[in-house]
Amino acid sequence: MTQLAYSEAELLGEHAYARPQIEAGYRLHGGFDAAGTYISPRTLRRWPAVRAWQVVLARRGWPLVDASTRLLRRGNYPNFAQQRLLLDLGLGRSLWNALSITGAVEARGRRLADFPVPDFQAIIEDGTAGTTTGHLGKGLMKAHGFDEGGSPATGEGGHDTMWYAVRDLLFGRDAYPLPEIPPSLARPEQGRLMPQIPLPHEQTILMLMNVLMIEIRAEAFFSFCIRIMRAPDIFADRRAAAEHAADLVERIRQDEAIHVAYLQTAVSELRSFTFRGEQGERVPGKAFIDPIWNGMIHWHAVTTVDHGRTQAREAIRAQLLATPNGATQLAAFDALEDREAA
């Protein structure tokens, strides 16, 4: 019989690693098997659990929500050609900043380990014991938080430290001053959006949606970074280090796959459930979750990306204008964006 109920200890369970992951002087999570293949942390039972819950959901006739990069409407800024131009000019700061900010944002993800997940069974008519939803507070959120911001019990760095290792491999540890870190990637408060259910449950659903979209955006950034780092004519004087940095990004991408999978499954389950409203009414999850999910997609795929582009361009513009023939370089930089759009 397929196992559907797990303890927290099981969902935090690790593989038996042949050797640990140590990069650029940092002790990191996960490890390698005897053949040298990287194994993501805390996935000994998380992956089997999530796959089993997805099968149950499919048998109930509910598909998974789309959690692919098809949801995104904007490409990376600067784009590949623009980033190449900046690096050719010796202006690596935009990439340095992006990697540093990514590491700092990942560190904030450590908070997920302590997120107070309310009891969804109390407001859902369907059984949640053998579902992703029923395990959010029983190890899934804690494992996610440790993946992102490290585990205090072991002293291992998570994705925050892995991104710093990537940055240091490419540029050296103190190549540029640390950038200002954006206050939050979460969608701003908009008042009550799900008045049919208690506020703690609404906040949890919004958090799940928000983090899922952040993970989807991260996948696009992974692809961009790997393309830059593996280009043979970029970082030509640090080719081996750049290739190894790309390897680390591949490992982060592998780690993040379980996050996308469980969040995608949780949101999909929640829209399939029937909720008991605060006045005793029966409310289909799909009815109030779908419109909010669509709004969350637009905010992450369009609104916040456009805002970030405006800020990034101002910083890049200042750097280019400070170079010899700065106005010409800025025009060439902007033309590369027009060319990609065309």
Burial class (CB in 10 A: 0-12, 13-18, 19+), 75: middle
Report the distance separating Cα 196 and Cα 204, nearest Å. Answer: 14
- Closest by alpha carbon to 89, among 321, 318, 320, 334? 320
- Closest by alpha carbon to 35, among 62, 17, 56, 49? 17
Give the pLDDT confidence score for residue 340 in this predicted structure. Answer: 62
Residue ranges, the chain, pLDDT below 70? 184-187, 340-342
Are the C-beta atoms of residues 102 and 308 closer than 8 Å to each other? Answer: no
Q: Is the pTM of this model over 0.75?
A: yes
Give the pLDDT confidence score for residue 106 in this predicted structure. Answer: 93
| Beta strand residue intervals within the chain, DSSP E | 19-23, 26-32, 38-39, 274-276, 282-284
Inter-CA distances, 313 with 62, 100, 331, Å: 42, 17, 12
3-class DSSP state of 308: helix
Query: Residue type for 31, please?
Result: G
Report the distance separating Cα 206 and Cα 332, nearest Å. Answer: 41
β-sheet with 38-39: strand ranges across: 19-23, 26-32, 38-39
Q: Which helix (H) or strand (E) holds 241?
A: helix 239-272
Inter-CA distances, 167 with 16, 231, 276, 319, Å: 29, 16, 49, 20
Report the distance separating Cα 80 and Cα 89, nearest Å. Answer: 14
> What DSSP state is assigned to residue 87?
H
Question: Longest C-alpha distance within the chain, in Å?
Answer: 70
Give the pLDDT confidence score for residue 1 in this predicted structure. Answer: 82
